[in-house]
Structure 1
Amino acid sequence: MKKMFLMLCVAAALTGGSIVQASAAHITETEATARLKEALNRSFANVTKVRWYTDDHKIFTAKFLAGENLVTAYFNAEGTLLSTRRYITEDQLPLAVITRIQKRYPDTWIRTAVEFDAGNVTTYYVTLEGAENWVVVKSDSNGQLSVYQKLKKA
């Protein structure tokens, strides 16, 4: 179950949608319970523009601004933070990640980077654009890269 949830979160992060959008067509905006609001405030400081979504009332998606960063956080109904994702800039990638990407993919440039945190594990998904293709690489904080997806340009 955890692996399936993690894969759906990764897919959502890469497509720009939420986990709920990736798994169901009937997502609805919802009013968060006091427990969920408290969990959000306990997990994040100074959040604004918070919107809550769910499709099954088991997993709740909070989209909000934390400073200038757009963050998506996933909670269960009890208020446990399951995972987060946020788009980051190239400068926010760990030095080990950016160094390995530059060495392994010298003829590409970074189009997007997503930081995904789940269960004390941080994973980065970086979309690289080259002359003939797009490559999404997955990396841990130490710069261990693997190809997640490769697409040929039309």
Structure 2
Amino acid sequence: MKKLIAILTIAAVFSSSALFARDATVNNKKVMDAFNKEFVGASDVSWYSTADKYVAKFTIKASKVTAHFDRDGNLLATSRYITDTELPLNVITRLMKKFPDQKIQNVVEYEAEGATTYVITLESDSHWTVLKAASTGGLTTLKKLRKA
């Protein structure tokens, strides 16, 4: 059941990815140049596209990363899974104070427009809590899911 909830949470977070058509090759030199410059050493790259965006899913230094580019090759946003030890200290401290009975199941780090946010899934004996955390430490509850 834990895996199902984690998968559903991740699916909800990345639901926008389902709107993209898979594209084996990218015929946009600006996007490819930007990707190769920004993510040197990326492997297992998969591309998806819409009318106005390209999305690359890849591995770099053992991290699963998703990067969004516009048609002009501008990097719009990135996301990656991180461990709880990689969260900023003020976020961890606030989580421990506000949710002492819950443990961290997974963390996704988002970077867009110069800001970093985190989507954190917590688990207790009776439910899961999905939070959005700002790098400044502010927390917002996105969902609470009761265990069956």
Place the TM-score, normalised by the shorter chain, in its bin. Answer: 0.7 to 0.9
Alignment of 1:1-150 (within 5 A): 14-15=10-11, 17=14, 19-21=16-18, 24=19, 27-32=21-26, 33-54=28-49, 56-150=50-144
Distance 1:90 1:99, change over 3 A: same
Question: Within 2, Cα distance between the matches of 1:97 and 1:45?
Answer: 30
TM-superposed deviation, 1:111? 0.5
Segments of 5+ residues of structure 2 without an aligned counterpart are 1-8
| Identity value in percent | 38
RMSD (Å) for aligned C-alpha atoms: 1.7
Assess, with a 3 A threshold, how the Cα gap between structure 1 residues 17 and 115 changes in structure 2: closer, same or farther: same
Structure 1 outlier segments of 4+, above 4 Å? none
Between the two proteins, the alignment pairs up a number of residues equal to 138
Structure-2-length-normalised TM-score: 0.86
Shift of 1:29: 2.4
Three-state SS of the structure 1 residue aligned to 2:59 is: strand
Listed as ranges, the gaps of 5+ residues in structure 1 are 1-12
Alpha-carbon distance in 1 for matches of 2:56, 2:118 = 20
